């Protein structure tokens, strides 16, 4: 076992022999945290009506028959990235718009016609860890993400709420805009917004960085730039855990890219690269937009 998922002494107490001591294993846990800002919709055009039994059957039959209709989409096609404030050099807040109301990760049916935005910072500064609970591989590990443990992350979430409210207040949404359902118009001060975020923030399911890539001289590195586990022969890690830090977006495409790059390394293929790839630069750092 690689130590680090709990230190070497912890593993020995669990009766697990330590093959290679890599303190970085299980450390440096990073994830995207997000909140839902929800607005009532004044027209019956959201997914609320799709919950009715007959409507569900019709949606399913249309998809099975023609691969079209409401069942042919995840309904999260609309999104975007913005800079949270002046001085930020790259977009650091992500939005996903959904024409529905999500409650408890979708385990609770929607209560009314509504729409919402999933919003959260892309480069959170809170860092957590995980370790083994026992020697039984069926037992869940101990995971401590340390969400919102830095003042930077708390301030970024305040901006997430305020900027989302600004977007929802735009004239284009006026024909559909009902009352704010979450956090609610009574939540206004920074202290109230902070309490709302702590009560309602959820993982965006982007855990990563617990087997970070780095040079052998880095005591926290777990794999080298060729994805090989340091100090262990014939073992690689090829997934989101080898990211040294969180990416500014969803993990799916970057993880596919990591896998394709690792496959080329293993096969000895030359590196692929393009010349003069444009990199985003804001028109000015002095303003947020």
CA Rg value for the chain: 23
User: Per-residue pLDDT averaged across 4-13, rounded?
Assistant: 70
pLDDT tens-digit readout, 240-278: 999 999 999 999 999 999 999 999 999 999 888 888 888
Cα angle 130, 135, 138 (rounded to 5 degrees) comes to 80
By residue count, the chain amounts to 289
Distances (CA, A) of 175 to 36, 105, 178, 238: 21, 28, 9, 48
Q: Is 21 a catalytic residue?
A: no
pLDDT tens-digit readout, 117-167: 999 999 999 999 999 999 998 999 999 999 999 999 999 999 999 999 999
Q: Indicate if 37 and 105 belong to the same structural domain.
A: yes
Burial call 180-199: b when 16+ CB within 10 Å, e when fewer: bbbbeeebeeeeebbebbee
Q: Indicate if 78 and 143 belong to the same structural domain.
A: yes
Contact between residue 35 and residue 56 where contact means Cβ atoms under 8 Å apart: no
CA-to-CA distance for 268 and 169, rounded, in angstroms? Answer: 54
Distances (CA, A) of 93 to 25, 153, 174: 28, 11, 24
Query: Which of 185, 203, 221 marks a domain boundary?
Result: 203
How is 152-207 classified by DSSP, letter by letter?
Answer: HHHHHHHHHHHHHHHHHTSGGGTTTEEEEEETTTT--SHHHHHHHHHHH-EE-S--
Domain that holds residue 213: 1-30+208-269
Beta-bridge mates of residue 95: 80, 119
pTM of the full predicted structure? 0.89
pLDDT tens-digit readout, 192-230: 999 999 999 999 999 999 999 999 999 999 999 999 999
User: What pLDDT band is residue 5 in, cutting at 50, 70 and 90?
Assistant: low
CA-to-CA distance for 39 and 174, rounded, in angstroms? Answer: 11
CA-to-CA distance for 243 and 65, rounded, in angstroms? Answer: 42
Q: Indicate if 183 and 228 belong to the same structural domain.
A: no
Cα angle 10, 14, 15 (rounded to 5 degrees) comes to 115
Predicted local distance difference test score (pLDDT) of residue 14: 86
Predicted local distance difference test score (pLDDT) of residue 271: 85
Cis bond upstream, residue 164 (ω within 30): no
CATH code, 25: 3.50.50.60
> What's the CA dihedral at 32, 37, 41, 44 to 10 degrees?
30
Q: Indicate if 186 and 43 belong to the same structural domain.
A: yes
Burial call 209-245: b when 16+ CB within 10 Å, e when fewer: bbbbbbeeeeeebbbbeebbbbeeeeeebbebbbbee
Q: Indicate if 120 and 173 belong to the same structural domain.
A: yes
Number of domains present in the structure of the chain: 2
Contact between residue 44 and residue 103 where contact means Cβ atoms under 8 Å apart: no
Q: Indicate if 145 and 187 belong to the same structural domain.
A: yes
Is 284 contained in some domain? Answer: no
Q: Indicate if 226 and 191 belong to the same structural domain.
A: no
Predicted local distance difference test score (pLDDT) of residue 138: 93
Q: Indicate if 221 and 167 belong to the same structural domain.
A: no
Beta-bridge mates of residue 223: 213, 229
Among candidate residues 48, 96, 118, 206, the one labeled active-site is 206
CATH code, 175: 3.30.560.10
DSSP reduced 3-state for 228: strand
Query: Which of 203, 227, 242 marks a domain boundary?
Result: 203
Q: Indicate if 55 and 169 belong to the same structural domain.
A: yes
């Amino acid at each position: 076992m690689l130590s680090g998922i709990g230190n070497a002494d912890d593993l020995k107490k669990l009766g697990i022999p330590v093959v290679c001591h890599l303190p970085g294993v299980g450390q440096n846990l990073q994830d995207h945290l997000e909140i839902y800002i929800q607005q009532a919709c004044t027209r019956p055009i959201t997914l609320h009506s799709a919950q009715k039994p007959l409507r569900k059957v019709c949606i399913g039959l249309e998809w099975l028959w023609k691969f079209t209709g409401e069942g042919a989409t995840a309904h999260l096609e609309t999104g975007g990235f913005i800079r949270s404030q002046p001085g930020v050099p790259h977009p650091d807040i992500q939005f996903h718009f959904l024409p529905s109301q999500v409650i408890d990760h979708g385990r609770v049916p929607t209560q009314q016609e509504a729409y919402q935005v999933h919003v959260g910072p892309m480069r959170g500064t809170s860092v957590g860890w995980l370790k083994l609970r026992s020697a039984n591989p069926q037992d869940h590990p101990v995971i401590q993400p340390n969400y919102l443990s830095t003042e930077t992350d708390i301030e970024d979430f305040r901006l997430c709420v305020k900027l989302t409210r600004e977007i929802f207040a735009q004239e284009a949404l006026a024909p559909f805009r009902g009352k704010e359902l979450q956090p609610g118009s009574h939540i206004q001060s920074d202290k109230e917004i902070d309490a709302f975020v702590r009560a309602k923030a959820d993982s965006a399911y982007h855990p990563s960085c617990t087997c970070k890539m780095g040079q052998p001289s880095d005591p926290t590195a777990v794999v080298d730039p060729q994805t090989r586990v340091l100090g262990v022969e014939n073992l690689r890690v090829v997934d989101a855990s080898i990211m040294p830090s969180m990416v500014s977006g969803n993990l799916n495409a970057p993880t596919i890219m990591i896998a394709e790059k690792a496959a080329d390394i293993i096969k000895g293929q030359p590196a692929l690269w393009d010349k003069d790839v444009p990199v985003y630069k804001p028109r000015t750092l002095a303003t947020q937009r």
